[in-house]
Structure 1
Amino acid sequence: MKKSILAIDIGSSKICAIIAEISPEGTIQISGAGIVRSQGIKKGSITNIELASKAIKAALADARRVAGTEIKRAIVSISGAYTKSLNSSGIVNIPNREITFKEISRVMHTSLYNANIPNEYEVLHTLPYNFIVDDQEFIEDPLGMNASRLEVETHIITTQKSNLNNLKKAVRGAGVEVDTVVLNGYASAIAVLNEDEKELGAAVIDMGGHTCDTVIHSGTAIRYNDFLGVGSHHITSDLSMALHTPLNIAESVKIKYGSLSAPSDDLIELPIIGDEESSHEVSLGVVHNVIYARVEETLMILAQSIDKSGLKDQLGAGVVLTGGFTKLDGLRDLAVAIFDNVPVRLAKPCNVEGLFDALKEPATATAVGLIKYAAGGYAPYEIDVNRQVRYRNEEPMEKPDLTEPSVQEPAEEEIPLPPSEEAGTIRIKSFDARKSADKAAGFGSKFWNWITQLF
């Protein structure tokens, strides 16, 4: 039976809602979508819950109108702003010498329990990147293996509780409950990476309107994530100040003339900020220099982030750029130069059945990734924001009880009385009580025999 999924990508520049149907085989069919301009959100965080809820509601209304269905629960993206990441590890013994899903769940929760997470932070994802079975490292999937000990190393992504709660409150204000929350960089990676790139290692950078989110995949697992509060809107802001023209005009100039290729000496006429009736001429060379300076600085900071990860030598597939920022002409060539000639690819969301033209743009990678996540496209194993263990293509599993097992009393057994007895039943302990009764009966019989022999 098909199930309907609602995904909401809450970005700083736009909010995208997608409704899709997922078959039992994992096939995705997009049935509705809505994209509206963001309100009440700056640099990835909620700054006005009422305005954010209003924008989310508008996107939902468009998606529902197209799909002709109404869904009350959603999978929602969260920005990398105010996130912290750390690595942890766990180890468990295998009592039955065979690794089951129960042991994998237990070792992952043990690594989460061992992590030093501040009280004001909430865990978004616990992602294993190295399973160790009896000292044998980098096991892809330990399920079913024979072993006496299982270890795991995990990458744990956390966010401020206040940030997460404000996001949930804004979504609830739009009349929808939050089913689960996914880091937007993680969702974007699901949408644009193929299996070979995950295996070889790749850095995915989602370059949006106000933010850039980076995740590094190595060996099919996320090993690193980072956030930069700079996006294409900053180019617009720079142009507005440098050209002394209103923001909406600067945005139009960026879209129409923005390029990182060789500059032109042509002149364009622009209105003056504060006095739109007056205008002045500006060289396209100035426009080029302003854009180039901002993009170069942004890419250099991103390159430093990749260096800081310590995983640069594991990027066999290079860097994959996605997001609305990547539509800027000449971005790839400049990125190749700044990332030390590492392979660079500009990516759109991989094709999904029923994908509308508006959803085939790099800017919608996160939204499409959320749908693929809901269809089982997440990491092979993961503990999600609800502290449930997800196994690819399987339903989430509740977290196990890591406390010591308590000794339970034997179950009580109902024993009917003989027909001559008064109607009803009595309860006795099934094993211990019966044993005591038999023992008492045996002693009474021996005592009676002894008395009769005496007399």
Structure 2
Amino acid sequence: MILNILGIDLGSTQTCAIIAQKDEDGLKIIGFSKSKTNGVKKGAITNIELASKSIEEAVRSAEMMSGVHYDKVVVSISGAYTKSVDSIGVVNIPNHEIGIKEIHRAVSTAKHTANLPSGYEIIHVLPYNFKVNDLEHVDDPLGMSGNRLEVSTHIVISQESHIKNLKKAVELADLRVDNIVLSGYASAIACLDDSEKELGVVLIDMGGAICDMVVHTGNSIRYNDCLQIGSINITQDLSMALHTPLKEAEKIKLNYAALSQQPNTLIQIPSMGDERKVNEVSLDIISNVIYARAEETLMILAKILSDNRYANAIGGGVVLTGGMTKLAGIDELAPATFDNRSVRLATARKDLITGFSEIFNDPENTCAIGLCLYGAGYFTPYELDSNEKLRYKGEIENFNRQIKQDIVLQKDAESEIKSDFFDENLQENDTIAIQEQLDFKEPKEKKPSVFSNIWHKIMNQF
């Protein structure tokens, strides 16, 4: 069964749409496009119509590239307006064997017993620990025997109005949202390997206007947060420091890696308000502005982590992704800022999904690729999604296997019906044939002719 998944990352500065196709050979990217985002500020939709047009433009181009229509739409939600709570669910196991239904009951119980603030909706219910009877730290309780199942969950929630605005923007682009995924969670799915998850790792997606942060340990996310600073702040700093329009400041920022190779060059930039007037600026001034903002951003992130008990217990280091990580020199600045922890600049893993190399090599696309992976079944072993439906590893394969079984059963039933119909017709035809043979073999009673009657009368006279 072929499944086409559309992942939409609605960022504050740009919208990324990726179409991936899942079949028996795996997952492959077949469509990709980006568009400038309008109507979104600091991760929140401020103009539904403009945001919808940004989505529509990116999706239309991705569809043209792929040549196929999507079956499932997965959309990211910014961590700027999300919170999280922890909750525990305990259920009894009457038949003493734990199956999918029992796990679903336990996770649902944790959801219902959670203390959620008013005006918030659930995006994810992520189990991070199971306990069967007195056995703790169970990775997967499926198939185990016991009479009591306890689950500890991390619940990600967002403002109800924010979710509704996001859905309206997507639906206005003539799309239907199948799942909403926390952007930091999607990036973690795309970037992190099994060793990092097992040891515990901090992933930070440094985007255009915000930095999404998640702490991933074991099977699940344990902490999520957001810093409302991004690469757009560097653009604004350059515009003010150099007294040049924002679009020119953006060009300087994007070309900084190439400019840094020529340290003694004077750069000519147009003046704000009168672009015909050109000023000459040294690269040192540009470097100082970019360096100051990048260092400040990393220091604030490091302070947030130092105050977090989950981040202090990790052993896998810090993984940075997102468009801001493309700044020249950030790979050298980050390790010193994060207390000499191991720091890795990451892009999407190539062993999970195939496609165009230029898409994988760009850290801006990490979240959108993670959304496609989520739609294809690459998520935590168990979770309740944004529709409060239980998702679990292997569900798509089980679904496909069930479909194949249903098709085989349907074909067998049709064959049996045809066979019964054929047997009935054959039996009826045999009955008719036998009757005809009996009728043919049975001597027919002949009526006497006129000559025989006359001869019979003559003989009776003698």
Correspondence 1:269 to 2:283 = no
- Asked if the contact 2:91/2:105 (under 8 Å) is kept, the reply is yes
**Aligned counterparts of 2:75 and 2:22: Cα–Cα separation in 1:** 17
- Asked if the contact 1:130/1:139 (under 8 Å) is kept, the reply is yes
What do the CA deviations read for 1:373-420 (whole angstroms, capped 9, x no partner)? 1111100000001011111121599xxxxxxxxxxxxxxxxxxxxxxx
**Aligned counterparts of 1:41 and 1:69: Cα–Cα separation in 2:** 28
- Asked if the contact 1:201/1:220 (under 8 Å) is kept, the reply is no
- Asked if the contact 1:260/1:291 (under 8 Å) is kept, the reply is no
**Aligned counterparts of 1:207 and 1:260: Cα–Cα separation in 2:** 22
**Aligned counterparts of 1:73 and 1:312: Cα–Cα separation in 2:** 34
- Asked if the contact 1:258/1:288 (under 8 Å) is kept, the reply is no
Correspondence 1:140 to 2:125 = no
- Asked if the contact 1:17/1:33 (under 8 Å) is kept, the reply is yes
* SS state at 1:276 partner: strand
- More deviation in 314-323 or 247-256? 247-256
**Aligned counterparts of 1:133 and 1:139: Cα–Cα separation in 2:** 7
* SS state at 1:178 partner: coil
**Aligned counterparts of 1:14 and 1:396: Cα–Cα separation in 2:** 34
Aligned to 2:54: 55
Aligned pair in 2 of structure 1 residues 252, 236: CA closer, same or farther (>3 Å)?
same
- More deviation in 64-73 or 185-194? 64-73
* SS state at 2:290 partner: helix
**Aligned counterparts of 2:269 and 2:15: Cα–Cα separation in 1:** 31
Aligned to 2:347: 348
**CA shift at 1:315, angstroms?**
2.0
Aligned to 2:13: 13
Aligned to 1:367: 368
- Asked if the contact 2:6/2:73 (under 8 Å) is kept, the reply is yes
What do the CA deviations read for 1:55-88 (whole angstroms, capped 9, x no partner)? 1111111111111122364111111111111111
**CA shift at 1:178, angstroms?**
0.5
- Asked if the contact 1:72/1:177 (under 8 Å) is kept, the reply is no
**CA shift at 1:255, angstroms?**
2.2
What do the CA deviations read for 1:115-167 (whole angstroms, capped 9, x no partner)? 11122000000001111122322111011111221111111000001100000
**Percentage of matched positions with identical amino acids:** 52
- Asked if the contact 2:347/2:360 (under 8 Å) is kept, the reply is no
- Asked if the contact 1:201/1:216 (under 8 Å) is kept, the reply is yes
**Aligned counterparts of 2:163 and 2:355: Cα–Cα separation in 1:** 31
After TM superposition, list the pairs within 5 Å mapping 1:29-428 onto structure 2: 29-71=28-70, 73-257=72-256, 264=263, 266-351=265-350, 352-355=353-356, 357-395=358-396
Aligned pair in 2 of structure 1 residues 142, 73: CA closer, same or farther (>3 Å)?
closer
**Aligned counterparts of 1:396 and 1:275: Cα–Cα separation in 2:** 61
* SS state at 2:251 partner: helix
**Aligned counterparts of 2:312 and 2:391: Cα–Cα separation in 1:** 30
Give the number of the structure whose alpha-carbon radius of gyration is greater.
2
Aligned pair in 2 of structure 1 residues 224, 130: CA closer, same or farther (>3 Å)?
same
The one-letter amino acid of 1:297's match is E
* SS state at 1:223 partner: strand
**Aligned counterparts of 1:260 and 1:104: Cα–Cα separation in 2:** 56
* SS state at 2:395 partner: coil
The one-letter amino acid of 2:31's match is G
TM-align CA RMSD: 2.0
**Aligned counterparts of 1:155 and 1:303: Cα–Cα separation in 2:** 23
The one-letter amino acid of 1:380's match is P
- Asked if the contact 2:72/2:375 (under 8 Å) is kept, the reply is no
Aligned pair in 2 of structure 1 residues 396, 387: CA closer, same or farther (>3 Å)?
farther
**CA shift at 1:334, angstroms?**
1.0
**CA shift at 1:247, angstroms?**
1.1
Uncovered stretches (5+) of structure 2, i.e. residues with no partner = 399-462
The one-letter amino acid of 1:212's match is C
After TM superposition, list the pairs within 5 Å mapping 1:425-440 onto structure 2: none
- Asked if the contact 1:11/1:38 (under 8 Å) is kept, the reply is yes
What do the CA deviations read for 1:201-234 (whole angstroms, capped 9, x no partner)? 1111101111110011111310000111111111
**CA shift at 1:24, angstroms?**
4.8
**Aligned counterparts of 1:8 and 1:255: Cα–Cα separation in 2:** 23
TM-score, normalising length: structure 2: 0.82
Aligned pair in 2 of structure 1 residues 85, 263: CA closer, same or farther (>3 Å)?
farther
**Aligned counterparts of 2:125 and 2:363: Cα–Cα separation in 1:** 27
The one-letter amino acid of 2:209's match is H
**Aligned counterparts of 2:88 and 2:331: Cα–Cα separation in 1:** 38
**CA shift at 1:269, angstroms?**
2.4
* SS state at 1:30 partner: strand
**Aligned counterparts of 1:325 and 1:126: Cα–Cα separation in 2:** 29
- Number of aligned residues: 396
Higher fraction of helix: 2
- Asked if the contact 1:46/1:52 (under 8 Å) is kept, the reply is yes
**Aligned counterparts of 1:396 and 1:109: Cα–Cα separation in 2:** 23
**Aligned counterparts of 2:12 and 2:360: Cα–Cα separation in 1:** 17
The one-letter amino acid of 1:146's match is S
* SS state at 1:196 partner: helix
TM-score, normalising length: structure 1: 0.83
What do the CA deviations read for 1:283-315 (whole angstroms, capped 9, x no partner)? 222211111111111111111222232112332
**CA shift at 1:357, angstroms?**
1.9
The one-letter amino acid of 2:375's match is A
**CA shift at 1:261, angstroms?**
8.4
Aligned pair in 2 of structure 1 residues 347, 368: CA closer, same or farther (>3 Å)?
same
Aligned pair in 2 of structure 1 residues 64, 246: CA closer, same or farther (>3 Å)?
same
Aligned to 1:416: none
What do the CA deviations read for 1:213-265 (whole angstroms, capped 9, x no partner)? 00111113100001111111110100110111111111122222359989945
